Amino acid sequence: GAVVSQHPSRVICKSGTSVKIECRSLDFQATTMFWYRQFPKKSLMLMATSNEGSKATYEQGVEKDKFLINHASLTLSTLTVTSAHPEDSSFYICSTTPGKQASYNEQFFGPGTRLTVL
Amino acid sequence: DAKTTQPTSMDCAEGRAANLPCNHSTISGNEYVYWYRQIHSQGPQYIIHGLKNNETNEMASLIITEDRKSSTLILPHATLRDTAVYYCIVRGYNYGQNFVFGPGTRLSVLP
């Protein structure tokens, strides 16, 4: 299957700092990428949909000014957690679907980034 | 909200078949049934998907009832490495649609 990478895999930061998480599609172009958040023992919750060359679409309750998403190329989307606080500590996962062909309809998920805010 | 209901947890003996049920009684005609699993602290891994016919691949088999209101994922010979949370997801076929995850089934494969 397709490969999606995330960097870093794990980050620990102090409260008030900003953290950038990268999501890359390694072997295909991804017009759309999705960002999820997962708290311990909970399921994945969609945060936003990232579209190449346009503004991201955020789910209700997700602050767009706090979680900045940039999708500047067809292989890279970034999520920046600005002024992080301990309650932002979570497992952040991106996913994408190759191209726009209907046959590629399963999503491929990255390995996730575990953010710990002290 | 997720459109599926699954048991919270299941156990399975190593080497035996694991049968994971999923109810999706409100599924519409153009929606597919997808199965993913998530091993601890990793991203979800695609397993299989289907519309109305039964499907099989190297990982698993998917059995969908004729009325499409429920399905079963079958891992034919479960191993300890199959211990994970298994998510059954119903989703349309249009490009760009995200997946809505429910709580899933925590499968424990026991030695």
Contact with chain B for residue A110, Cβ under 8 A: yes
Q: What is the pLDDT of residues B7-56, one digit of tens each?
A: 999 999 999 999 999 999 999 888 899 999 999 889 999 999 999 989 99
**Number of other CB atoms surrounding residue B107 within 10 Å:** 21
Fill in the DSSP letter of residue A88: G
CB contact under 8 A, B34 and A93: no
* Chain A residues close to B38, C-beta within 8 Å: 44
> How far apart (Å, rounded) are the C-alpha atoms in residues A10 and B92?
33
Q: What is the pLDDT of residues B44-90, one digit of tens each?
A: 999 999 999 899 999 999 999 999 999 999 999 999 999 999 999 99
CB contact under 8 A, B44 and A110: no
Q: What is the pLDDT of residues A15-65, one digit of tens each?
A: 999 999 999 998 878 888 899 999 998 999 999 998 888 889 999 999 999
Fill in the DSSP letter of residue A59: P
* Chain B residues close to A59, C-beta within 8 Å: none
**DSSP string of B56-110?**
E-SS-EEEE-TTSSEEEEEETT--GGG-EEEEEEEEESSTT--------EEEEEE
* Chain B residues close to A44, C-beta within 8 Å: 38, 44, 101
Q: Which of residues 43-102 of A touch B (CB under 8 A)?
A: 43-46, 49, 91, 93, 95, 97, 100-102
